[in-house]
Amino acid sequence: MNKAARTCTPRVRESCLICSVLVALCAVPRAHANVSMLPPLIVPDDGDTYQFFVADQESYDSNLYRLPAGTSAVGTVAVPDASKADYYNTSSVGGDGQMVFGRQIVDVDVRADENRFAKNTILDNLAYSGDVLWNWRASGYFSGTAGATYTHGLAGFDETRYLGRDLVDSELYNATARYQVGPRWALYGAVSDLNITHSAVAAQLQNYKYETGSAGLEYATALNDTFALQYSYANGKYPSGTLDSEGSVLFSPDFHDQLLQAVIKYAVSDKTQLTGDVGYIERKYPDTNFGSFSGTQGRLTMTWAATEKTQLIAALWRELHAYLVSEADYFVSTGGSLSPTWLATSKIRLSLTVAYENQNYIPESSAVLSPATPLVPPSGKLTAKLYTATGEIDWTPRDNWLVKGSLNYQRRSSNQELFYGFNDDLATIGVLYKIH
């Protein structure tokens, strides 16, 4: 090994890896004479369309608050007379529509859910959401989207460490654009703005604003084979820092992310598609020296249509993650999943998803430093392993009717088992009726 190789920095090594992937893809002799990467504009034959629905679902959760084994909800959860297991009912109404204005298409979706708990009645809530998406096209070479999404609902207890009634509002604004430079080349970009707010005072340190942007250059080697080099950034902003036990600011969670990655799509055959990305990410905190992180991340997904009625999706990843309602508590996620789907008949669809994830929390994240978790491991690192299995059945007994059932199992083990370990079983059965 020469001297240059021995002194290569992680960033240089990552650049070498990306370049090697791009060179290898360029060498694949699968190019077609004419390749168009501009997505087709799909306009409904009957123009504007509208559809409404009503639905009802019954659920049973064996560990609603995601508590460790042997822990009682009473005295642990910030809810009077809390019950660890509970039944709850969800009644829903909603609709969607699509409006066509020449080459412009606007999609609208709205939904409202009334959730009522049998025992933890203080958690009863009205959740609602709505989104609008404009698929625009300015010419034969320039297209994109612009949209807004709003949601209001109860925070999931597998995502937050506040074990009480916390209603979360989420506002997301996003836009994308794509310009076809030539038959093989395209430029694209995206921006988004996300605002998360919590109703519970104890959880409002996790209110945050998340701004992202990305730009990329894509090249098509064949009709279904492309690769791109993409740069992305993100800024996370919080109302204040995380406090230590004496009330002084110990950690400011405001952060800035930068990611350079190669994005790959490759059709192995008519039945098998590979998609993936590999890159180098940096997270820095402008207001503190704590919490910085840098390293490689990537994801590889294979979609295999084994037969006309069966499909298998397999994925492997190593990425920087965080739960939506607690972005400051971030971790390196390493894992994989398998998701087979079987169309048993024209009316019955069966699916299964099994996944494993190793969560290695950054030592300076608020999940480790927060006074809510005082038993920090000697290593100063919080780690967790999450195992999940979900089975679903969709049955369409008649036109406009859908009956859906699911079983979900979760097991999270941790070196802070008292705070982060749990087992949970969730079963649901529901019926939906569509009104055209």
- Output the average pLDDT for the chain: 84
Bridge partners, 168 (sequence order): 153, 198
What is residue 368's predicted lDDT score, i.e. its pLDDT?
A: 42
What is the model's pLDDT at position 69?
82
| pLDDT for the residue 382 | 83
Q: What is the mean pLDDT of residues 214-222?
A: 95
Alpha-carbon distances, residue 181 vs 140, 220, 230, 263 (angstroms): 11, 12, 16, 18
Q: Is residue 169 within 8 Å of residue 197, measured between CB atoms?
A: yes
User: For residue 331, what pLDDT is reported?
Assistant: 85
3-class DSSP state of 305 = coil
At residue 380 the predicted structure's pLDDT band, cuts being 50, 70 and 90, is: low
Of 20-24, 226-230, 303-307, 316-320, the least confident: 20-24
Find where tokens 């009503």 sit: 54
The DSSP secondary structure of 78-124, one letter per residue, reads SSTT--SSEEEEEEEEEEEEEEEETTEEEEEEEEEEEEEESS-GGG-
pLDDT reported for residue 417: 77
**Structure-token pair, residue 142:** 């320039």
What's the mean pLDDT in 115-133? Answer: 97
How far does CA 269 lie from the centroid of its chain? Answer: 28
What is the average pLDDT across 293-322? 94
DSSP for 243-280 reads E-TTSSEEE---EEEEEEEEEEEEESSSSEEEEEEEEE
pLDDT value at residue 31: 36
pLDDT in tens, 11-27: 333 334 334 433 333 33
DSSP for 23-60? HHHHT-----S----SPP----TTSSEEEEEEEEEEEE
Share of the chain above pLDDT 90, in %: 61
Q: Which residue has the higher pLDDT, 53 or 45?
A: 53
CATH topology of domain 3-29+50-435: Porin (2.40.160)
pLDDT (0 to 100) of residue 364 = 52
Q: Please report, for the chain, the start and end positions of each structural domain, with discontinuous segments joined by +.
A: 3-29+50-435
Q: What is the pLDDT of residues 164-193, one digit of tens each?
A: 999 999 999 999 999 999 889 999 999 999
% the chain with pLDDT above 70: 80
DSSP state of 436: -
